[in-house]
């Protein structure tokens, strides 16, 4: 059988013709449907009473109810909503621009460089369903204007053209010479490969000088792309760019390594052997910078009201980075590969950063329900965020989580498979080559997760247990090269050697001189050969052990519209949930797979027809176009339902570090409990660790830094644990007392205040202490606090509400005091005493004239009392990009802070980053600021 071409491509080269996108009149119609022209966006004029997405959202009583209502609105047979035709009219409150920016790791074409000439663009193999969605979004059938952003991929010299090999019928009639029988590699035995087919040259990754004019020429070429405007992302270290804007590209593949060696592997439930971690740290820094550079590129073209749709595991940090820069941006994220369970994700050293990164999106989509459930569970188990089937509460906002099984471009597949005369010729050649044989077809990439080894072992058992099929059935297995770095680097040849061994053994045991039961093709096929193979097959066999959305299964169903061949599908494929009428198998149950092969080959025609009819109906209805529409419509409905403006993004540590290094006058204000140290049941046990003290000492010793601890603690506690750091400024009891740096004296800011209110408060607190086991009273010089950390959580919270109501109805009405709720405590203090007053005083002491105010302010706190500091900083005239107000702790709380950190350990690692003693987790932020990976951190 001939080789060469693009196995997965169903989109023709755009230099010759636009991708096949049907107009409303050309839209594919399933068998039995009306012959009237249909449209992707039917008119709603006759269904004016149908609820718009905004009305659907308004009627929902909970997040789960919203998810149910959205599902019903898009259920089969439902009337199309207004959003199908005009999203801007359906969601007026969102002020949509009508633009969709899709961010994907690579553009749809591999790029060949010709100095001073047009670039050589060829269709990129893999992720064909994703690439098919882009021309649709840019077509007149879609209500959107579309821009695609992606890396150029590894730039290489243009490949030489060569004459393609013969068709199957030609190969069948061509006498085999010694030269023509030489296999392309050892895994191809025993099928000969045409020696005239020249193997592709490896990509050259070093020595490319790409000038600014070269880049502009490529950008101009890509602006005429059928996927809409295509904007390339140029990935290069600062050391690779000269003063003229020219790039000297060296190690281009480094941008793939963390995603494809670490994330791809772990997300498919595989793990590497442990190492010293040096390589992984460098890969992580490159991964962080990759996402930063994507964000930079998006910011260059983004306009308010644009929707940014981010795709797949290479860009998991991008949602959070964009959210940090544009808090109100509309972001959707879709993961095209599996998402592992929490027990497996916990093995990832950068697990928190990955989850925090993707939670910057407004909605996150997955291929199947199990993947979405795993993600929500990870957010709860690893980050401590509240989650449900509807989504995750993160950073003060709700992030929707939903399931969107991707489809294929059914109209294009049917067009190429049934209307191309070349396909008909190849079908005839294959039938002549395997006349009288039943054909089982498998098409997979060469890696362990595709289950090719399991497939061959099961086929061997099938021939052993069902001898009546020997010499009557042939398995044609197409094994294309891996598409990610992890798959390509089978350095020991374990997978290919195992496949070669199995192919040779099966053909040796059950073949003959004139027939081999396994025909193995270890290369890409042209689309004509690929569709011919799917059409001529009697059974489709997919045995992946872990997979995202296997589009081969969907294309097989379409190509079988005449033959109705059964589909055997692994239950571990993301497609399994979408194709319940396929024959599901466990690829690890080899005997069970063998039996299913026999069942498929002996299935009666009526049963095959009934099974195929349901599969065909699904594949032709749930196309890649419907997937795109459904995702965007649900994203808009969620945006209309939840106020995303209240979200507080995760702290941008790269921005923090860059501003810190630029500033000469820096002010730090830190709360203590819950910020520098974790909250504990006994307040006296919350003592600072050695690392906290060392970090504060180092920070305060810099003469450019003014560091203050502003706590609700009393003077004695702060003196005992922080007093020995003379450079620190201390403020006790929420600003009632202060101790200046390099001083031992405390100043009482409330000495003239009438404190007679304390007796009444103590009486009330005592009343509730006697009735709440585990509670106690803390007496300070100015404030009084009732703690219930040791009490039963539910009963303690109930008693606190009753006590608060009692205080507000009595003491608060008689005296100038306020009742403050904290973490498992109630505090009563004078109204004029709060941390905000201290924050304003510290800023004001610098002065307000030009050049006097601090150039960098970092304020951290975790509870309600710290909101006074955040409020005070918002009201200053300091440039907002100089002020970093950061809340610490619970992800669901609303705050006036501009940034968010999860826990005290994150606070200390952030301060260490500023001190120049960054943790390994912050190597990405340092690399982003310095433009390269610092060798000292590897």
**pLDDT tens profile 485-515:** 555 555 446 788 889 899 999 999 998 888 8
- Cα distances from 523 to residues 6, 127, 176, in angstroms, run 9, 17, 20
Q: Average pLDDT in the 43-72 region?
A: 51
CATH code 3.40.50.1000 for 653-749+833-937: yes
Q: How confident is the model at residue 131 (pLDDT cuts 50, 70, 90)?
A: confident
Cα–Cα distance for residue pair 873/825, rounded to 1 Å: 26
Instruction: Return phi, psi of residue 233, to 5°.
Output: -100, 125
Q: What is the pLDDT at residue 94?
A: 92
Phi then psi dihedrals of residue 829, to 5 deg? -150, 165
Question: Considering the domain 756-830 in this protein, what is its CATH number?
Answer: 3.90.1070.10
d(CA 874, CA 419): 65
Nearest-angstrom CA–CA distance, 307 and 300: 14
Q: Can you give the residue ranges of every domain in the chain?
A: 95-156+252-403, 410-620, 653-749+833-937, 756-830
**What does the block give as tokens for 340?**
């592992």
pLDDT value of residue 194: 41
Collapsed DSSP state (helix, strand, coil) of residue 775: coil
∠ CA 118-230-649, nearest 5°, is: 140
Number of residues in the chain: 938
CA distances from 347 to 270, 315, 352 (A): 11, 20, 11
Are the beta carbons of 676 and 710 closer than 8 angstroms? no
pLDDT at 144: 93
pLDDT for the residue 449:
83
pLDDT greater than 80 at residue 898: yes
pLDDT value at 201 more than 70: no
Average pLDDT over residues 400-408: 93
Say yes or no to pLDDT of 12 above 60: no
Q: Given a cut of 80, is residue 764 above it in pLDDT?
A: yes
Tens of pLDDT, residue by residue over 272-295, are 778 888 888 899 999 999 999 999
pLDDT of residue 159 exceeding 70: no
Give mean pLDDT, residues 663-683.
90
Average pLDDT over residues 727-748: 91
Q: What pLDDT does 493 receive?
A: 64
- At 589, the pLDDT band (50, 70, 90 cuts) reads very high
Could you tell me the CA-to-CA distances from 695 to 323, 691, 857, 914, 937 in Å, in that order?
Answer: 29, 6, 17, 10, 18
CA atoms of 517 and 511, how far apart (whole Å): 6
pLDDT of residue 824 exceeding 90: no
Average pLDDT over residues 59-79: 54
- What is the pLDDT, as a whole number, of residue 495? 81
Residue with tokens 């994703």: 130
Residue 220's nearest CA partner among 210, 228, 230, 212 is 230
Summarize pLDDT for 854-888 with one digit per residue, the tens.
999 999 999 888 999 999 999 998 999 999 999 99
Strands 363-366 and 438-445: unpaired
The whole-number pLDDT of residue 483 equals 62
Residue 719: is its pLDDT beyond 50? Answer: yes
Write down the pLDDT at residue 2.
44
**Of 190 and 753, which is predicted with more confidence?**
753
To which residue do tokens 């095959």 refer? Answer: 608
Assess whether the region 653-749+833-937 and the region 756-830 belong to the same CATH fold.
no
Burial of 213 by CB count in 10 Å (0-12 exposed, 13-18 middle, 19+ buried)? exposed
CA atoms within 13 Å, Cβ hemisphere of 197: 22
Report the pLDDT value the prediction gives residue 15, as an integer from 0 to 100: 34
Alpha-carbon gap, residue 766 to 776, rounded angstroms:
8
Q: Where are the beta strands (DSSP E) in 60-143?
A: 99-106, 109-112, 120-123
CATH superfamily of 410-620: Glycogen Phosphorylase B; (3.40.50.2000)
Element at 710 (helix H, strand E): strand 705-710
At residue 754, the pLDDT reads 79
For the segment 500-554, what is each residue's pLDDT rounded down to a tens digit? 899 999 999 998 888 899 999 888 888 899 999 999 999 999 999 888 788 899 9
Q: What is the pLDDT of residue 78?
A: 46
Residue 284, C-beta contacts closer than 8 angstroms, at least 6 positions apart: 258, 350, 923, 924
pLDDT band at 246 (very low <50, low <70, confident <90, very high): confident
DSSP class of residue 142 equals S
Mean pLDDT of 54-60: 56
Domain 95-156+252-403 in CATH: superfamily?
Glycogen Phosphorylase B; (3.40.50.2000)
| Average pLDDT, integer, range 152-164 | 65
- 40 band by pLDDT with thresholds 50, 70 and 90: very low
CA angle (302 as vertex; 358, 304 as ends), nearest 5: 95
Output 149 or 932, whichever has higher pLDDT: 149
Which pLDDT value is given to residue 445? 84
pLDDT for residue 415 is more than 70: yes
pLDDT tier at 64 (50, 70, 90 boundaries)?
low
Do 307 and 379 meet the contact criterion of CB atoms below 8 Å apart?
A: no
Name the band, by pLDDT with cuts 50, 70 and 90, for residue 206: low
Please give the pLDDT value at position 308: 98
Q: What percent of the chain has pLDDT over 70?
A: 83
**Averaged pLDDT of the chain:** 83
């Amino acid at each position: 059988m001939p080789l060469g071409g693009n196995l997965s491509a169903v989109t023709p080269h755009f230099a010759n013709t636009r991708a096949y996108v049907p107009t409303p009149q050309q839209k594919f119609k399933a068998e039995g449907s009306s012959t009237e022209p249909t449209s992707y966006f039917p008119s709603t004029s006759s269904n004016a009473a149908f609820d718009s997405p905004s009305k659907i959202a308004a009627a929902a009583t909970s997040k789960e109810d919203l998810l149910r209502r959205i599902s019903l609105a898009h259920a089969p047979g439902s009337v199309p909503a207004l959003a199908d035709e005009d999203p801007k009219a359906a969601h007026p409150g969102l002020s949509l621009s009508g633009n969709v920016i899709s961010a994907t790791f690579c553009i749809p074409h591999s790029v060949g460089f010709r100095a001073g000439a047009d670039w050589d663009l060829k269709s990129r193999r893999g992720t064909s369903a994703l690439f098919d969605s882009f021309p649709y979004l840019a077509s007149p059938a879609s209500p959107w204007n579309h821009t695609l952003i992606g890396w150029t991929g590894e730039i290489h010299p243009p490949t030489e053209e060569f004459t393609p090999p013969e068709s199957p019928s030609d190969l069948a009639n061509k006498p085999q010479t010694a030269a023509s029988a030489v296999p392309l590699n050892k895994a191809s035995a025993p099928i000969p490969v045409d020696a005239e087919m020249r193997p592709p040259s490896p990509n050259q990754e070093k020595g490319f000088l790409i000038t600014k004019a070269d880049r502009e020429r490529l950008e101009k070429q890509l602006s005429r792309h059928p996927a809409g405007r295509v904007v390339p992302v140029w990935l290069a270290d600062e050391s690779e760019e000269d003063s003229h804007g020219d790039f000297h590209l060296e190690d281009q593949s480094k941008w793939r390594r963390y995603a494809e060696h670490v994330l791809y592997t772990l997300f498919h439930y595989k793990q590497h052997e442990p190492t010293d971690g040096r390589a992984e740290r460098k890969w992580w820094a490159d991964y962080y910078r990759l996402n930063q550079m994507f964000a930079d590129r998006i910011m260059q073209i983004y306009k308010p009201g644009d929707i940014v749709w981010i795709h797949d595991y290479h860009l998991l940090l991008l949602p959070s980075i964009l959210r940090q820069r544009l808090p109100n941006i509309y972001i959707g994220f879709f993961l095209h590969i599996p998402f592992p369970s929490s027990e497996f994700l916990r093995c990832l050293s950068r697990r928190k950063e990955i989850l925090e990164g993707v939670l910057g999106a407004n909605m996150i989509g997955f291929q199947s329900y199990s993947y979405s459930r795993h993600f929500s569970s990870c957010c709860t188990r690893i980050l401590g965020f509240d989650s449900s089937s509807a989504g995750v509460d993160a950073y003060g906002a709700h992030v929707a989580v939903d399931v969107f099984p991707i489809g294929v471009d059914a109209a294009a597949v049917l067009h190429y498979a049934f209307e191309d005369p070349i396909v008909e010729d190849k079908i005839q050649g294959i039938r002549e080559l395997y006349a009288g044989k039943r054909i089982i077809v498998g098409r997979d990439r060469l890696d362990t997760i595709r289950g090719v080894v399991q497939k061959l072992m099961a086929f061997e058992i099938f021939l052993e247990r069902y001898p009546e099929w020997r010499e009557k059935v042939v398995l044609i297995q197409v094994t294309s090269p891996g598409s990610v770095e992890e798959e390509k680097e089978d350095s020991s040849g374990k997978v290919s050697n195992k496949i070669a061994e199995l192919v040779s053994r099966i053909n040796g045991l059950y073949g003959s001189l004139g027939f081999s039961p396994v025909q193995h093709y270890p290369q890409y096929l042209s689309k004509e050969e690929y569709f011919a193979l799917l059409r001529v097959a009697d059974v489709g066999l997919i045995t992946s052990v872990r997979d995202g959305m296997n589009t081969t299964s969907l294309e097989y169903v379409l190509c079988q519209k005449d033959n109705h061949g059964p589909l055997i599908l692994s239950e571990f494929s993301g497609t399994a949930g979408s194709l319940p009428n396929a024959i599901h198998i466990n690829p690890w149950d080899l005997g069970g797979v063998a039996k299913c092969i026999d069942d498929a080959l002996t299935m009666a025609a009526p049963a095959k027809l009934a099974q195929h009819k349901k599969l065909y109906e699904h594949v032709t209805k749930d196309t890649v176009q419907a997937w795109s529409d459904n995702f965007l419509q649900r994203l808009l409905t969620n945006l209309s339902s939840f106020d995303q403006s209240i979200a507080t993004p995760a702290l941008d540590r790269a921005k923090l570090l860059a501003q810190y290094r630029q500033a000469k006058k820096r002010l730090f204000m830190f709360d203590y409990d819950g910020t520098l140290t974790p909250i504990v049941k006994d307040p006296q046990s919350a003592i600072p660790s050695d690392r906290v003290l060392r970090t504060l000492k180092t920070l305060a010793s810099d003469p450019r830094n003014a560091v203050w601890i502003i706590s609700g603690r009393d003077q004695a506690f702060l003196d005992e644990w922080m007093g020995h750091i003379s450079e620190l400024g201390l403020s006790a009891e929420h600003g009632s007392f202060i101790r200046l740096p390099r001083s031992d004296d405390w100043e009482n800011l409330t000495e003239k205040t009438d404190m007679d209110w304390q007796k009444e408060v103590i009486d009330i607190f005592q009343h509730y202490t006697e009735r709440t086991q585990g509670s106690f009273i803390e007496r300070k010089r100015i404030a009084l606090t009732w703690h219930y950390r040791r009490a039963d959580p539910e009963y303690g919270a109930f008693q606190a509400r009753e006590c608060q109501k009692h205080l507000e109805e009595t003491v608060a009405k008689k005296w100038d005091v306020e009742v403050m709720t904290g973490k498992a405590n109630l505090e009563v203090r004078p109204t004029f005493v709060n941390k905000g007053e201290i924050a304003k005083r510290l800023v004001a002491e610098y002065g307000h004239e030009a050049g006097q105010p601090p150039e960098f302010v970092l304020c951290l706190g975790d509870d309600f009392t710290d909101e006074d500091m955040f409020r005070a900083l918002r009201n200053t005239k300091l440039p907002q990009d100089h002020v970093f107000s950061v809340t610490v702790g619970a992800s669901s709380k609303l705050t006036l802070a501009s940034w968010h950190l999860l826990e005290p350990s994150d606070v200390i690692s952030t301060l260490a980053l500023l001190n120049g003693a960054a943790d390994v987790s912050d190597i990405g932020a340092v690399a982003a600021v310095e433009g390269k990976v610092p060798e000292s951190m590897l």
